[in-house]
Amino acid sequence: MKKLMVAAVVATMASASMADISIKGDAYIQYVDRGIGGSGSDTENHKRVNLNVIGKSGATTVVASFRTDDNTMARSGASNLHQFYITTKVGPVNVKAGDFYSTIGLGAWSKSEARTDALSLSTKVGPVTLGVHTADGTTKDSGSGAVSVPGTTHVSVAVKIASAKVKVINNPNAKWTDISASGTFGGISVAAEHLGQKSKALMLKKK
């Protein structure tokens, strides 16, 4: 269904007079030959391909990211749509919705977590940036099996004080608060992050 939605969106945006479609990505191939034995050559190869299709029309951007991860000789890794989201602006509010990776704070304890059916909203009120992020629960491969990642909803407040950016993120249900600060002082970049929680029921597991 999502692939059909991508095709429909790309087709619609391609027909717009100001539409901009781009394709970006990267790939690697690893080939190993362990020598020729009695049963023939002992070789294996691994490959991974990332492909991002990006469509733009005005303030709206649609991103569809495909990945082929071939980690086994059986080549069980198949091409999959691992990100599909839209970003736009509605009045003063920035909107990001869909399936995408998200990072809490500076990423010291939760970085690039895959979120499904996620929605992020942010807006500026004077020097302060207010935000809210919500996402459904999902599962991820930990290498030893599937791990459940519960849904989450948290709010954030960010402000720049002198040359430092301070951000506070709070999840009232899981009872945790993340405080981060970063800036450049005398040509030296400094960053710090602290996570405080009142329970172990984290909505996002440490990656």
Average pLDDT over residues 178-204: 81
pLDDT on residue 170? 94
Please give the Cα distance from 56 to 10 (Å, whole number).
9
**Position 145 pLDDT exceeds 70:** no
Most confident listed range (23-32, 138-147, 154-163)? 154-163
124 CB neighbour count, 10 Å cutoff? 12
Strands of 38-175 (E only): list them: 40-57, 60-70, 80-90, 93-102, 113-125, 128-136, 138-141, 146-149, 152-161, 164-171
| Cα Rg, the chain, nearest whole Å | 21
Location of structure tokens 């399936």: 99
For residue 144, which phi and psi values (nearest 5 degrees)?
Answer: -115, 10
Least confident span in 87-96, 156-165, 190-199: 190-199
Q: For the chain, give the percent of residues with pLDDT over 70.
A: 68
Domain locations along the chain: 1-90, 94-207
